[in-house]
Amino acid sequence: MQIITTINEMKAWSAKARRESKTLGFVPTMGYLHEGHMSLVHKSLAECDVTIVSSYVNPAQFGPNEDLDTYPSAPEKDRDLLLSAGVDVLFRPAAGEIYPKGYKTYVSVEGITAKLCGISRPDFFRGVTTVVLKLFNIVAPDKAYFGEKDWQQLAVIETMVRDLNMDVEIRRMPLLRESDGLAMSSRNRYLDSSERNSALLLSRALKMAQEKTKNGERSANKIRDEIRQIINESSQAKIDYITLCDPYNFEEVTNLNGKTLAALAVKIGSARLIDNCILESV
Amino acid sequence: MQIITTINEMKAWSAKARRESKTLGFVPTMGYLHEGHMSLVHKSLAECDVTIVSSYVNPAQFGPNEDLDTYPSAPEKDRDLLLSAGVDVLFRPAAGEIYPKGYKTYVSVEGITAKLCGISRPDFFRGVTTVVLKLFNIVAPDKAYFGEKDWQQLAVIETMVRDLNMDVEIRRMPLLRESDGLAMSSRNRYLDSSERNSALLLSRALKMAQEKTKNGERSANKIRDEIRQIINESSQAKIDYITLCDPYNFEEVTNLNGKTLAALAVKIGSARLIDNCILESV
């Protein structure tokens, strides 16, 4: 596995792979890899000739009072994981490579970024789309892999790729959970054992919502209220939002019909956790 | 010469040319071609294996009270000009191709777009960078040609290309003038004969500024005032701005030193005209 730290080297590596008619798979990450990330890596390894994983904690997607400075990192462990998986390149851009002095250009998706996570994190999606577009231009992948844990982010990236006529295929991969139901996330690392217990309420509430829907409940208000009740069982949980909405335009629904996204963001201790599932009503 | 109207066909054409190891030159235009455009076309023909010219009046770069609906067009004449020049592809996207229903994504360059033309045209540069990035993704050129008549636009596009790690080389070409000094522009078409006479004041004022600089004047205020006096000789001329500034960051200068951009925007009748030149002081 090659570790590349400069944009020029990364571009040269990709250009060579392309000239050799190889298909390029790409998994962008912020490091501190867990099984969720690795499921994307394995899918890319299975589908593409070569796989590039980037590891870059993108300052542009953090707000002023967020956890940029404390975001967990484990570079050696990440490297070993990717090496044993058989990844071809770990792209770990050095400081100043991505946003050099005088940097001025940003990519924004309107509308869908103003909802859900966009309300409490107004610059988050702009940071994500900007860095993802840059990474796509640098790596020039055929396919890029993202997890449905960040459902809204995925919809935003799909919109950008379509609107800007980019040639990369976005591959959606399912959210992975720990054995007790907690959605896998690098930020779970922030939780002490009592907070981790509270965090289980998120997946428990979503499971309840799925069961209610399966049993015929069609009122979004009722399901939302019950989710809220479950989350509020813990005094440590501060709800950011709970939504039942269209999975693509994020408009709130009143009556469940077809596929509805149930999504929530909850702050527990210093961790802002998100989780989601699809409610299927027929 | 092939005329292509869909994005998919344009992408396929470019992909084939690339597979054949051809270098692609690209000249994006809004049509109604004049010698200024054709100088870009000829440069591309001389430097690249194949040349693609796009013709698209981009709604995103027009403000609500601007001339989108009256922008001049001459599709047959344009086609004949490009055909006899030896252009390979005229890309003329059909309505709805560039901004289909549900379009949401925009590219912005901060800072330098808030000055000069950005003051009276707040959405102009966002429209330009968005469409240029889209066209670059569709055409995938090696080199793209722009005229220095739109000096600020060129600086904005260069910034976008550098910031977003795009692989296209931006080629700057000099502003061309009519024999009487008027900067070539599709919008000159809006001028009646009396207005056209007034419009000559723009290039006359800039020429005066160059002579004063050559003769040792170093006060930006003095030169700016003299430019204003010349423009105000016509009661038809409504000055938008007159600036003497750094040619790259557009900060106003007080004393001329090295290269200074003299740029102005003046409304004459229904035409908003721009012109510029570099003042060299040593």
**Which spans in chain B are helix H?**
7-19, 35-47, 75-85, 117-120, 124-139, 151-163, 193-214, 220-231
- Tokens representing A55 are 């590891």
Average pLDDT (B241-247) is 98
What is the model's pTM? 0.97
pLDDT in tens, B154-170: 999 999 999 999 999 99
Over residues A176-204, the mean pLDDT reads 97
Residues A7 and A136 in one domain: yes
Catalytic (active site) residue A42: no
Q: In the predicted model, is pLDDT for residue A243 greater than 90?
A: yes
Q: What residues of chain B lie within 8 A of the CB of A129, using their CB? A: 105
- In a mutagenesis test of the B interface, which of A11, A99, A107 is the best target, namely the one with the most B β-carbons within 10 Å? A107
pLDDT, tens digit (0-9, with 9 covering 90-100), for A41-74: 999 999 999 999 999 999 999 999 999 999 999 9
Given B27, B32, B37, B113, the catalytic residue: B37
Query: Which among A10, A31, A37, A170 is annotated as catalytic?
Result: A37
Mean pLDDT of B63-83: 96
Same domain, B194 and B95: no
Q: Please give the full DSSP string across A120-172, using - where no structure is assigned.
A: H-TTHHHHHHHHHHHHHHHH--SEEEEEGGGHHHHHHHHHHHHHTT--PEEEE
Q: What is the pLDDT of residue A95?
A: 86
A146 and A191 share one domain:
no
- Nearest CA to CA, how far is A112 from chain B (Å)? 9
Residue A160: list chain B partners with CB under 8 A: 105
User: Would the CB atoms of A164 and B134 count as touching at under 8 Å?
Assistant: yes
Chain A CB contacts of B104 below 8 Å: 109-112, 159, 163
As given in the structure block, the two tokens for residue B200 are: 């000559």
- Give the tens place of pLDDT for each residue, A77-105: 999 999 999 999 999 999 899 999 999 99
Q: Clarify whether residues A214 and A108 are in a common domain.
A: no
Mark whether B12 and B94 lie in a shared domain: yes
Question: How far is the alpha carbon of A103 from chain B, nearest alpha carbon, in Å?
Answer: 6
Picking from A107, A159, A167, the nearest residue to B107 by CB comes out as: A107
* A106 → chain B, closest CA residue: B108
Q: Which of A106, A137, A165 sits opposite B165 (nearest CB)?
A: A137
Flag whether B181 is in a domain: no
* pLDDT bucket at A19, cuts 50 / 70 / 90: very high
Residue B113 and residue B28 share a domain: yes
Q: How far is B147 from chain A (nearest CA, A)?
A: 22
Residue A282 has pLDDT above 90, yes or no: no
Whether pLDDT at A4 is above 90: yes
Residues found in chain A: 282
Provide the residue range defining the domain that includes B255: 186-276
Cα gap A27→A131, rounded to integer Å: 13
B136 and B264 assigned to the same domain: no
Cβ–Cβ below 8 Å for A109 and B109: no
- Confidence tier at B282 by pLDDT (50, 70, 90): confident
Q: Does residue B279 surpass a pLDDT of 90?
A: yes
Distance CA A37, CA A29 (A): 8
Residue of B nearest to A110 (CA): B104
Q: Are A214 and A141 part of one and the same domain?
A: no
Provide the token pair at B150: 């739109």
Looking at the domain assignment, is residue B105 inside a domain? yes
Task: Tell which of B173, B202, B220 closes a domain.
Answer: B173
Q: Give the count of domains, chain A.
A: 2
Contact A100, B164 (CB under 8 A): no
Tell me, what's the pLDDT at A3?
Answer: 98
Does some domain include residue B52?
A: yes
